[in-house]
Homo-oligomer: A and B are copies of this chain.
Amino acid sequence: MSLLDRIRHCKRRDAARFRRFVVAGLPVGWVAHRLADRLRGFPRVFAVSDDTVRVIDMLDGFESRSRAVGDAILRLREEGWFPGWRNEAFAVAPTFYAPPLLQIERVAARAFGVRCYCVQLNGIVVRDGLRQTWIARRALSKPVGPGKLDQIVGGGMPIGVGLRDNLIKECAEEASIPAALARRARPVGAVAYLAQHGDICDDEVLFNYDLLLPPDFTPVNADGEVAGFELWPLAHVKAVLADTDDFLFDVALSLIDFLIRQGIVDSSDPDYIEICEGLWSAPGAAAGSGA
């Protein structure tokens, strides 16, 4: 594999497997046919056609939609749908900045192909002029990517929480980074992908942050989601990304962006231009190439 293969892995999708999920006339997700067919059993909540799943227009407010869709999802959960229930509410909205049309359990948001948002942190240490970064190994109990390598801190955006507040909360929970230190994190851009995994369409935007950590700081996990941390030279991150599947697949995007900004991935890689391009390809374009 190459770094470019990591990016391509995040963009693979067979659009024919999904129908558009539509709320208030706005496309907000992707539902696999099997789930769409089951949703026909809830005609007071969903109007299902061959190419769309719509929340019915009579449900015309945030509260009514959230309640009706939530009840249907709970019924389906009893039938075995949505394994890995998280008890975290995610917003469903046409854009990150638009008011949410409804809220939905995190694992159901994924099954409905709703665009999700994450904060991702690079914890940087400079020792003897050499730049290194803290790498986490995800706990074996994590529902997604157990045992995979990860950045020092990362987390999905629950509804009603700001990016920076969520980052500070995750910094405390995942790595015991004090709030005063976490506040120094600098936003450095965003990357996105739209990837298919079986009947799931992952549509995610990763907001990236860099934080220079004191050389004597050592992360300690506080919420049981991290098995351990190691400090890695950046060239080692690049090698492991390119040569192994050890990193969580989408963390690769955020890390490649980091390695580009640090000059570790540069034009000596013959895929450089395609890598820069691939970190942000429009979901529409990705859908086209995957269809």
Q: Which 6 A-B residue pairings sit nearest by Cβ, starting from the closest?
A: A285-B285, A186-B263, A187-B266, A190-B276, A97-B270, A189-B260
- Residues of B contacting A262 in the complex (Cβ-Cβ under 8 angstroms): 186
A207 proximal to B (CB < 8 A): yes
Contact with B along A182-209 (1 / 0, CB 8 A): 0000111111100000000000010100
Q: Is the CB of A276 within 8 A of B282?
A: no
- Residues of B contacting A42 in the complex (Cβ-Cβ under 8 angstroms): none
- Residues of B contacting A191 in the complex (Cβ-Cβ under 8 angstroms): 276
CB closest residue in chain B, given A279? B280
Contact with B along A79-105 (1 / 0, CB 8 A): 000000000000000011100000000
Q: Complex: how many Å from CA A111 to CA B261?
A: 33
A163 proximal to B (CB < 8 A): yes
A284 proximal to B (CB < 8 A): yes
- Residues of B contacting A261 in the complex (Cβ-Cβ under 8 angstroms): 188-189, 261
Contact of A260 among B188, B192, B270, B285 (CB under 8 A): B188
A236 → chain B closest CB, angstroms: 19
Q: Is the CB of A273 within 8 A of B187?
A: no
The number of residues on chain A lying at the interface, defined by a beta carbon within 8 Å of a beta carbon of chain B, is: 31
- Residues of B contacting A207 in the complex (Cβ-Cβ under 8 angstroms): 267
- Residues of B contacting A276 in the complex (Cβ-Cβ under 8 angstroms): 189-192, 280
* Given A188-B260, A276-B280, 14 further pairs, Cβ under 8 A: A96-B272, A96-B273, A97-B270, A163-B267, A187-B266, A188-B263, A189-B260, A189-B276, A190-B276, A192-B276, A277-B282, A279-B280, A281-B282, A281-B285
Whether A190 touches B272, Cβ cut-off 8 Å, given contacts A280-B277, A282-B285, is: yes
Contact with B along A246-265 (1 / 0, CB 8 A): 00000000000000111100
- Residues of B contacting A266 in the complex (Cβ-Cβ under 8 angstroms): 187
A41 → chain B closest CB, angstroms: 35
Q: Complex: how many Å from CA A97 to CA B288?
A: 26
Q: Complex: how many Å from CA A188 to CA B260?
A: 6
- Residues of B contacting A186 in the complex (Cβ-Cβ under 8 angstroms): 262-263
Q: Complex: how many Å from CA A265 to CA B65?
A: 35
- Residues of B contacting A96 in the complex (Cβ-Cβ under 8 angstroms): 267, 272-273
- Residues of B contacting A192 in the complex (Cβ-Cβ under 8 angstroms): 273, 276-277
CB closest residue in chain B, given A97? B270
Q: List 25 A-B contacts (CB under 8 A).
A: A95-B273, A96-B267, A96-B272, A97-B270, A163-B267, A186-B263, A187-B266, A189-B276, A190-B267, A190-B272, A190-B273, A192-B276, A192-B277, A207-B267, A261-B261, A277-B280, A277-B282, A279-B280, A280-B281, A281-B281, A281-B282, A282-B282, A282-B285, A284-B285, A285-B285
